[in-house]
Structure 1
């Protein structure tokens, strides 16, 4: 059975939080394709890469900073990252995990849709299968949003690293706005902390 897909067009604004410096004060990349270290949900294998973006700035924010439930928001960690606004340079066809038509095929079940184990074995196996079939990524609702409004996207590339093949057009980058921090802390009712080292790293 052919899976249900969705088109991600050049007109869609996408958001990503990224470290503005990494390692030895090297600049971070607004568009970085993960290669499996540390493992992210829809990572591929054999050197291919996956870039994770969200449909809103709030969605991108909670994917990074609400990974550690019940601890709070570390302000010094927030200031280590910038917000990027991007668009794809050409239309991309994505697997639509929000489609009821896909439930029960390709091993898509409740366990996969709600997979939170940080090894992500089911989700990564699905990503590999989709990539081999020519599907260019995955669309799914954020597991970190109880209201099920924030949409996430994982886009595939032939190799990991900095925007291989120029898949994205970066429209704007800069510090995370104060009103976005305020919105996240208010809507998710998390305290603002000043201690570092609470959140997983990443590029």
Structure 2
């Protein structure tokens, strides 16, 4: 494995990020969009680039998962549970939408940047990892954190267009944004327009190429 370090991707303060978060947690308390994993009510809950799974003594740092588009955030929250299409309104109403920005630029490692291929363990196996235990992603998160990267950027595997980007941001401490990385969030109920946009994205992704249709 090469020892060269990937080139960082700059996440500027004016770049909007989106996140769907739970309206109410399992223990009845309100959800919060500024949570850095491990899980809000289940510390054993495993998300892809969680740092507390990366090795012994790494229970302190946390990871907050965001997307660069609201549609991508929706797909990340629901695509693994609803299958084809979108969930019904009852399920949608269990979450809210947050619009976030960081206070200062963050340096992320981009898994899909061609120049980074093969560096620090960035391989196809890592990029497309979808197993629930995420062994490669957890190890990579720990190495990226130790290399002073402030997060990970990658193409969403749940976006059928394969265009949406996610940004997992690291914090030295897990919990409710203990280091004030984010500005105060703008939150709202999930708008109908977003749901319709996701429906269109999914429907269009299921169309075959025009070249496959006879004249």
How does the TM-score come out when normalised to structure 2?
A: 0.83
Q: Which residue of 2 aligns with 1:29?
A: 32
RMSD: 1.6
Unmatched 5+ stretches in structure 1: 191-203
Q: Which residue of 2 aligns with 1:154?
A: 168
Q: Is 71-80 or 180-189 further displaced after alignment?
A: 71-80
Decide which structure has greater strand share. 1
For the Cα contact (< 8 Å) 2:5–2:119, is it kept in 1? no
Which residue, out of 149, 163, 166, partners 2:177? 163
Matching of residue 41 in structure 1 with residue 55 in structure 2: no
Which residue, out of 70, 87, 94, partners 1:73? 87
Unmatched 5+ stretches in structure 2: 53-57, 205-215
Matching of residue 50 in structure 1 with residue 63 in structure 2: yes
> Residues 128-150 of structure 1: CA distance to partner in whole angstroms, max 9, x if unpaired?
00101111000111111232211
Higher RCO (CA 8 Å, separation ≥ 6 residues): 1
For the Cα contact (< 8 Å) 1:19–1:80, is it kept in 2? yes
How does the TM-score come out when normalised to structure 1?
A: 0.88
Aligned-partner Cα distance in 2 for 1:170–1:67: 29
Q: Which residue of 1 aligns with 2:103?
A: 89
For the Cα contact (< 8 Å) 1:30–1:170, is it kept in 2? no
Aligned-partner Cα distance in 2 for 1:156–1:163: 10
Within 5 A, what are the aligned runs for 1:131-146?
131-146=145-160
Question: Could you tell me how far 1:72 is from its partner in structure 2?
Answer: 4.7
Aligned-partner Cα distance in 1 for 2:158–2:96: 20
Q: Aligned pairs, how many? A: 190
> Residues 16-48 of structure 1: CA distance to partner in whole angstroms, max 9, x if unpaired?
000121134311111111116311111102221
Decide which structure has greater helix share. 2
